[in-house]
Each structure stands twice: as structure tokens, then as C-alpha cells.
Amino acid sequence: MKKLGLMLVMAMMAVMLVAGGVWALPDLGTGYEWNGADYWTITDHTTGTYADGNSMFELKLELASYESSFGIYTVDDVANPTAVETKFEVFDKNAEPSDFGTEQSVFFRHVSSGWQVSSTDSDSDSDWTNFDINFGFYFEVYTGGSADTSMEYVWFADQQFNQLANGDSVDTDIEHVLIAYNAEQYTARIFLDDQLGGGDRDFTDMVVAVDDIAPVPEPGTMALLGIGLLGLAFIGRRKLKIEE
């Protein structure tokens, strides 16, 4: 009973992550549900000549005054993460959605030293970066717009790592990155709220879609945050439909 009571209290805290405001969560569309996983892995282990698999990322939407880059990152231990190890940029801050789709494939390959990642299916070792098969998502925010060359802060799917450009922790009690998942199609959508302190909480500042991925199981944590996000969905005052 004590453990159940603690989980219920924490679930309520997840609903009220940001004081003084109500989250206006987007309408996800058919087949998608909010997912509390911070870390993900690829499901496609067959695509590529020199790669062992890949995922396709698409920049779907960007409705923000700031510019943001997007990428994936690794940690020291996904079961008990204490530090970010490597970041790999997928879209730079000047990338914009387009009618034809702004897409970027990310390739993974396994070598004797472990896993590597690349933006191209290349036979050149110099095109590959040491990485991991399990990863999270991050956004770097440039408040000065497209001409700004210095990012101000970084928001991670695992909010404990949220930080200013100098590495100081900030907004570690606020979710800036939400993820919805379609388990039948192995596709996810990653939603950003970019402003320091929580912003307007509409989570449309940047939306990235990705295929051929699945959550790394986090028993308890995923279920708990899922309950919290379900509560947020009920208290959201307005919705934005993301076109399929």
C-alpha cells in the first residue's frame, strides 16, 4: 500500500510538473499514445550496405520564435543514467519543415568496439561516430534566431540533464520534450516546448517524427509518467491537430 500511495503521489506530481499553468497538449492523431520512455532503440536491423540498420527522421512542424537543432544522445547507463556521453545532430537549427518533407536518415552499425552512428550509409570509417544502440532525443535552443551562433540551453528527453549552454543544470523539474508512440507502426513523434521555465506549454515549437524505433523498457517509470501524461491530456485547454 505504501508503494502504491507513493506512485499515486508521483503521478500527480507529473500532472503538475509546471506550476501556474496548464499544458495544452497536441492532438496526436490515430494510433499514437503518450509514452514516458526517455530512451529508445532501432527496430530495423536490416537496412544499409555498410550499416546494420537505420531510422528516418522528419521535421514535421516548427512554430516558434526561436531556432532549435535536434539530435540523439547517449548516456553512461540507460538503466541508471548519470551523464550524457555523446550527442549526434540530426537537424541543424536552420532546418525548416517543407511540403516535400524535411528528412534525414540516421544509420547504425555494429563494430568490434561497439555501436556507431552516421548520417550516411558509408564505407568510410571517418563518417561514423562511436555511439550506442540505445539513445534519447535532445533539442538545442538558439534564442537569437537563425543568425545566432551560440545556443542558450539544451532540453533532453531525460529531463534530469536539462542544462544551460555552460553546462549548469536548469529546468530539471520541467518536461520540455514529450514523446508519442505508435506501437503498431514503430513510429514516434517528439514534441518540444522550447522556452526557459516552461513557456506556453503548447509543445509545437518543434515536432520531429521518426520511424523504426521502440522504447527501451523502463518498468514503473514508463507506467508512472504515462499516468501523469494521461492526466495532462484531460486538463489540456486546447489542441493542435498534427497532419498525418
Question: Locate cell 525548416: which residue?
Answer: 96
186-219: pLDDT as tens digits = 999 999 999 999 888 899 999 999 999 999 986 5
Looking at residue 8, its amino acid is L
For the stretch 6-34, pLDDT in tens is 333 334 334 444 344 455 688 888 999 99
Instruction: Say what the pTM is.
Output: 0.82
Where residue 226 falls among pLDDT bands split at 50, 70, 90? low
CA–CA gap between residue 168 and residue 158 (Å, rounded): 15
What's the pLDDT score for residue 20?
A: 40
Mean pLDDT lowest for which of 160-164, 218-222, 237-241?
237-241
- Across residues 58-69, what is the average pLDDT? 95
Buried-state track 110-136, b at ≥16 Cβ within 10 A, e below 16 = eeeeebbbbbeebeeeeebeebbbbbb
22 or 120: which carries more pLDDT confidence? 120
